[in-house]
Chains A and B, each alone.
Chain A
Amino acid sequence: MRVLIVEDDPVLADGLAVGLGLAGSTVDAVGNCADARAALEVAKFDAVVLDVMLPDGSGFDLLKDLRATGDRTPLLLLTALDDVKDRIEGLDRGADDYLGKPFDLDELAARVRAVARRGEGRATPCLNCGGIVLDPAHLTVAVNGEPVALSRREFAVLSALMERPGAIRSKAEIEDRLYGWQEEVESNAIEVHIHNLRAKMGREAIETVRGLGYRMKLGA
């Protein structure tokens, strides 16, 4: 899951990036509205965590503009302004959730997962596909009831594929989900991760569609 954090306080932004990273997300952090707009233009995020008071404007305005341009990215407002009035204003401007500072990191991670899940059109917390069950909250995967140990990257690749079982994910799409801007992408990393996943869950779990990408095999 790729998350964009828009927060101008460097300590908090760093904490969020590391914390959500530990919870299995790929995180990019920016410190103002302009950078947030640019980031949202060039990459697709599964969720945005947005502070309201930013040095170059209000998060509310950014949110309004975003929704006006038809951007449907699930968005969670994170702010010190947590009067009921502010919460209502934020939600009515198009936010999907609202959390007042200070907050619990685990709760924030859970809420981010929840808004992202809804953004994908799912209600069930676990991803289920042909006997493979992926639990994003606990970062666990089980094949036919047997737990399988995956690395963080392998987990991210698998969840990218399982979010839309049957749909083809290109290599670039998967890379996008896997790496933040700060990270160096190794050229054949995806192939390596797919290879490892097949080794752990069975060869037939993931199909290669030549020239297009990968997909989960349905009804396997």
Chain B
Amino acid sequence: MTSLRWRLFFILVSATGAIWLGATGWIYVRTKADIEHVLDARLQEAARMVNSLVTSSDVAQLNGAIPVPVGHPELMNYQRHLACQIWSLDGRLIAHSSGAPGANLADHASGFSERIVEGETWRVYAIQDADKGLRVLVGDRLGMRERLISDLIKGLIAPALLMIPLLGLLIWISIGRGLRPLSNMANELQSRRADDMRPVDASDAPLEVKPLADALNNLFANVETARRHEREITAFAAHELRTPLAGLKTQAQVAIAATDSAVKEGALRQILVAVDRTTRLVRQLLALAKLDAGLDLDHAEDIRVSPVLDEIIETLKATSGDRRVELDPALRSVSIRANRELLTLALRNLHENATLHTPSGGAVRWGVDCDGTILFVEDEGPGIPQDELPLVTRRFFRGRHKSASGSGLGLAIVDLAIRRSGSTLRLRNRGDSQGLRAEITIQTPDAFFMVCHSAFQ
């Protein structure tokens, strides 16, 4: 059963019914025992009374039926409930009550017994009085007793049968009221637009519903962040791709329209530049989207840094022109515990950034600090204005000194990738000369051996 309301309803109604039924059964058993006890006592009482009323001389005189009034006249149903017979010890019926059967009610001497007389079961109490020479039998019909008990039970059950549907209705309504916060929440959520991520109002929710509302609100917040990132990336892509596309189109039109071969060639070269930059922009957008999605990036391993750097430098050789790349030999013994893809992404973007900002003929330098806890790269570019340093890792931020080819994504990607790996990125302007220094704190489980003989120190 999936409806909580129905489930609760059935549990409550059947529990109530079972308790009621149990109580009725118990009352039946108890009442029956009590009534039998009382009626038996009455039989005994009546027998003794009759016995005390009859003297031995009466026995001799009487020889016929003496009607003995029994029972209350108002209780018509129970009229002639009791029957009385007085027998002489020699077997003559001396007297009997009006409702008593003609046949002998009992043949035992004294005490209780049950006997079927004229098709009815009788319970009979007998007193044998040897002095008076008579035997008094007082009995009642068992059927009568059963009726008495069943009438009593019927009196109990009749209101119950009326009340159980009423109780059911009350239970149904109460459960409905109890579940109202849930259904209110459900209604609110159901009527929402798909992009409505406002938190659910849990201020008047009961204690049991609050965790659910809180969990939902948490989920909403997370989904909203993810969606915001997605929207930002889409909007940024839509916007940022238009300018290079416009450049490409314009240059292509120039190349077609120009009659001068130098102009044509110039336009074609510009197209190549624009294609390279657009490719990088698209790659960065995809990387950012992948980082946001956070898929398959949890696996961490110990990665040796220098082969990764070698590969990145080799890949980017074509675009670095005559800028030198210097690698500290100490890097060979450095390894970082990280996800390979994240680390490659971060290092590649750092290297690209450093190369882009380093003027022609300058050098990009990768190194590691003496204690081996910081991996760094230094460029010879203009650096970043001090007030913009905390802002450059924000996605889409473009500072005053942005390079022509900067997308505003590179450092945001690096920061995100490095944070994902559990490390931190620190940027500062170089103290020794112009340029930017980017530092990654190295997370490594094993203390590794570092020889402090950096070529640059």
Residue numbers in B under 8 Å from A220 (CB-CB): none
* Chain B residues with CB below 8 A from A51, complex form: 243
CB-based nearest B residue for A108: B250
Is B251 a contact of A11 with CB atoms below 8 Å?
yes
Per-residue CB contact flags for chain B residues 395-408 toward chain A (1 = under 8 Å, else 0) read 00011101010000
Q: Is A88 an interface residue (CB 8 A)?
A: no
Q: Are A103 and B249 in contact (CB under 8 A)?
A: yes
| Structural contact, B257 and A22, CB atoms closer than 8 A | yes
A10: which B residues are within 8 A, CB to CB? 404
What is the distance, in angstroms, from B353's C-beta to the closest C-beta of chain A?
17
Using CB atoms, name the residue of chain B closest to A100: B242
Contact between B243 and A9, CB atoms less than 8 A apart: yes
Complex CA gap A120/B267 in Å reads 32
A19, B260: Cα distance in complex, Å: 12
- Whether, in the assembled complex, B263 has its beta carbon less than 8 Å from a beta carbon of chain A, the answer is yes
- Which of A8, A101, A105 meets B245, CB within 8 Å? A101
- Shortest CB distance A171–B (Å): 28
What per-residue 1/0 map shows which CB atoms of A15-36 lie under 8 Å from chain B?
Answer: 1101100100000000000000
Which residues of B (396-447) have their CB < 8 Å from a CB of A?
A: 398-400, 402, 404
The verdict on A56 contacting B400 (CB below 8 Å), with A19-B257, A80-B240, A105-B253 known, is yes
Once the chains are docked, how many angstroms separate the CA of A14 from the CA of B242?
16
Interface positions, chain B 232-256, Cβ under 8 Å from A, are: 238-240, 242-251, 253-254
Within 8 A of B (CB), among A52-67: 53, 55-56
A18 and B242 contacting across the interface, CB-CB below 8 Å: no
Q: Is the CB of B249 within 8 A of A104?
A: yes
- Asked whether, in the complex, the Cβ of A80 is within 8 Å of the Cβ of B243, the reply is yes
Query: For residue A57, which residue of chain B has the nearest CB?
Result: B400
Q: Which of B238, B267, B400 is in CB contact (< 8 Å) with A15?
A: B267
Q: A12 CA to B273 CA in the complex, in Å?
A: 11
- Nearest B-chain residue to A9, judged by Cβ: B243
Does A81 sit within 8 A of B, measured CB to CB? yes
Question: Interface SS of chain A: helix, strand, loop or mixed?
Answer: mixed
A14 near B270 with CB under 8 A, answer: yes
Q: How many residues on B have C-beta within 8 angstroms of the other chain's C-beta atoms?
A: 30
Contact for A102 among B249, B273, B398, B402, CB less than 8 A = B249
Q: Which of A53, A56, A105 meets B250, CB within 8 Å?
A: A105
Q: From residue 255 to 288 of chain B, which have CB atoms closer than 8 A to chain A? A: 257-258, 263, 266-267, 270-271, 273-274, 277
- The answer, yes or no, to whether A146 is at the interface (CB within 8 Å) is no
Q: Are B404 and A15 within 8 A (Cβ)?
A: no
Residues of A within 8 A of B247 (CB): 9, 11-12, 14-15
Check if B253 sits within 8 Å of A101, measured CB to CB.
Answer: no
Do residues B254 and A22 form an inter-chain contact, with CB atoms below 8 A?
yes
Give CA–CA (A12, B254) in the complex, Å: 11
Contacts of B270 in A (CB 8 A): 11, 14-15
> Nearest chain A CB to B388's CB is how many angstroms away?
12
A16 touches B404 (CB 8 A): no
> With a CB–CB cut-off of 8 A, which chain A residues contact B246?
9, 12, 78, 80, 101-103
Query: Distance in Å from the Cβ of A22 to the closest Cβ of chain B?
Result: 6
Residues on B with beta carbons closer than 8 Å to the beta carbon of A103: 246, 249-250
Q: A18-B254, A102-B249, A103-B249 are in contact. Are A12 and B267 (CB under 8 A)?
A: no
Which chain A residues numbered 85 to 131 have a C-beta less than 8 Å away from chain B? 100-106
- Selected contact of A55 from candidates B245, B249, B398, CB within 8 Å: B398
- In the complex the two chains form, is A9's CB within 8 Å of B404's CB? yes
Residues of B close to A101: CB separation below 8 A? 242-243, 245-246
- Complex interface: chain A residues within 8 A of B250 (CB): 12, 15-16, 19, 102-103, 105
Ordered by A's residue number, 30 sampled pairs between the chains whose C-beta atoms are within 8 Å are: A9-B244, A9-B247, A9-B404, A11-B244, A11-B248, A11-B271, A11-B273, A11-B274, A12-B243, A14-B270, A15-B253, A15-B267, A16-B250, A18-B267, A51-B243, A55-B399, A55-B402, A78-B246, A80-B246, A101-B242, A101-B243, A101-B245, A102-B242, A102-B245, A102-B246, A102-B250, A103-B246, A103-B250, A104-B249, A105-B253
Interface residues of B (CB under 8 A from A): 238-240, 242-251, 253-254, 257-258, 263, 266-267, 270-271, 273-274, 277, 398-400, 402, 404
**Smallest CB-CB A-B distances: 6 pairs:** A15-B250, A12-B247, A11-B247, A101-B246, A80-B242, A102-B246
A contacts, CB < 8 Å to B: 8-12, 14-16, 18-19, 22, 51, 53, 55-56, 78, 80-81, 100-106
In the complex, besides A18-B266, A78-B246, A102-B246, 12 extra interface pairs with C-beta distance below 8 angstroms are A9-B243, A11-B247, A11-B248, A12-B246, A18-B254, A19-B254, A22-B257, A56-B400, A80-B243, A104-B249, A105-B253, A105-B257
